Amino acid sequence: MTQKIVVIGANAAGIEAASAARKKDRTAEITLITKEKVAGYSRCGLPFVISGAISHFKDLIVYPPAYFQMLKLNLRTQTTALSINTVEKKVTIQTFDGITETILYDSLVIATGATPFMPPIKGREKQGILCLRSMEDGEKIDEHIRAGAKSAIVMGAGLIGLELGVALIERGLQVTVIEKMSQILPQIFDADMAKLVQEHLEQKGMKILLNRTVEEIVGDDKVSAIKACGEKFTADMFINAFGVRANTKIAVDSGIPLGETQSIKTDAHMETEVKNIYAVGDCAETIHFITHKPVCPQLGTIAVRQGKVAGTNAGKVNSQFTCILASTITRLFDIEAGATGISETTAIKNQIEVVTGTINSKTKADYYPSAKPIKVKLIVEKKTEHIIGAQIVGGEEVTQRINALSFAIQKQMTIKELAKSDTAYAPPMSETWEPMVLAAETVIMKLR
């Protein structure tokens, strides 16, 4: 009998799930459902279209219609999944023109993603607050810029807020970022490393206000200003970058349990507590490699890995998802910043005693004309001497160092083993002493 597989969501995690299922089952009927007009594009690339680095939003489409045709995937765009009947194994959907249908499934993958979060701020219902989550969101922001916007307030100093802030400055706008925490990128970096990034952004003209809680959105029907800690701020554009929350409504309404993070609870197969229903991507919970606690990292790299596992299992071939480190990388103007594992702050919260080591170095031989500064911070568990986290800020070559340290953490390398690593050297490409090794030696000195 032909197997029926339904995937709710048609971006990174959902498409990867459908593709993996097709590779394992050549005859299955596979249907993807998405509310959006366009499927299979890169959300991560949106700020770079706004900045002008990428010419058009359509350039972000990774999976064109021909891809779905080639794999015989039934893609339903501008279609909303209304409910899941887990007993009768059917999904009720509504098309763009209001027609309601039901689709039967043998296996179901929920890849509903996440939506921008707006805190319970006075005036939050007012029109005109923009966000950046979908292609349509990006087009709205671009339209405001083309219409003559000269200034913007970004509420939130996480990755998306800062990447969008950089993009707006590159388009000629004056940008103010307002953050309630005492540092930028609080989910990724410790304060000492975040400060380096902040100083660079401020040098490039970004105004960053920390320890400021947005209290009110001011205006008649439409936003005209915001109030933060009693101070009023006006601008031509107001951006909600408070973060995102997992889209779990359809799961909750269907009796599919959530986990500690309020995202959908899954096991090692990405299966929920309802048999043959899987959850992947920004709506799904998983386990952190270091803390062994549930997390919902909401990263594209993790979404596609989860999608592949769920799709493989939906195709009736056993596959398991390993724990995550939530490795992250970004570029902001002229610097790269990345992290893997846990921060010193997170370690303390989890009662893990750590020793840290930080080193300032260069990306090439110091005498080489284009050598750029780089700073490496390592976080090491004192008891085992295992590396459990790393943060790097530098002018170049951050990504592959973060990747290398991710490998080291996953293989449970000790700091002494890292210090003895055999690394490569050539004046135009690296220093004689690899900065990661130098940072390791600073930790060893403290351990002694």
Low-confidence ranges of the chain (pLDDT < 70): none
Find the distance separating the first CA and the last CA of the chain, reported in whole Å: 66
Domain 4-114+245-314: assigned CATH number: 3.50.50.60
Is residue 229 among the annotated active site residues? no
Pick one of 3.40.605.10, 3.50.50.60, 3.40.50.2000, 3.40.190.10 as the CATH number of 118-242: 3.50.50.60
> What residue type is 336 in one-letter code?
E
DSSP β-ladder status, 237-240 and 151-155: parallel
Rounded to 5, what percent of the chain is helix, strand, coil?
A: 30, 30, 40
In whole angstroms, give the CA distance from residue 381 to residue 383: 6
In CATH, the number for domain 334-447 is: 3.50.50.60
Q: How many other CB atoms are there within 10 angstroms of residue 142's CB atom? A: 17
Tell me what pLDDT residue 8 has: 98
Q: Tell the residue number behind the tokens 């800062």, with chain if given.
A: 162
Query: How far apart, in Å, are the Cα atoms of 281 and each of 317, 336, 342?
Result: 20, 25, 20
Residue 109 backbone phi and psi in degrees, to 5: -115, 120
Q: CATH 3.50.50.60: which residues of the chain? A: 4-114+245-314, 118-242, 334-447
Burial class, 312, CB count within 10 angstroms (exposed 0-12 / middle 13-18 / buried 19+): buried
151-155 and 373-381 beta bridge pairing? unpaired
Per-residue pLDDT reduced to its tens digit, 314-326: 999 999 999 999 9
Residue 92 contacts residue 85 (beta carbons within 8 Å): yes
Which residues contact residue 299 at a Cβ distance below 8 angstroms, ignoring those fewer than 6 apart?
Answer: 326, 327, 328
Long-range own/partner contacts, residues 261-266 (CB < 8 A, 24 or more apart): 261/285, 261/294, 261/295, 261/296, 262/296, 263/296, 264/110, 265/294
How far apart CA 416 and CA 41 sit, in angstroms, is: 43
Ramachandran quadrant class, 342 (left: phi over 0; alpha: psi -120 to 50; beta: rest): beta
Q: Which pLDDT value is given to residue 95?
A: 95
**Exposed (0-12), middle (13-18) or buried (19+): which is 77, by Cβ within 10 Å?**
middle
**Token pair recorded at residue 443:** 């930790």
Give the residue from 262, 110, 235, 112 showing the smallest Cα distance to 178.
235
pTM summary value: 0.95
Catalytic member of 44, 131, 229, 323: 44
CA–CA separation, 347 and 284 (whole Å): 23
Site of tokens 């509903």: 112
In this prediction, residue 1 carries a pLDDT of: 84
Quote the pLDDT of residue 322: 92
In 3D space, the residue among 186, 210, 194 whose CA is nearest the CA of residue 346 turns out to be 186
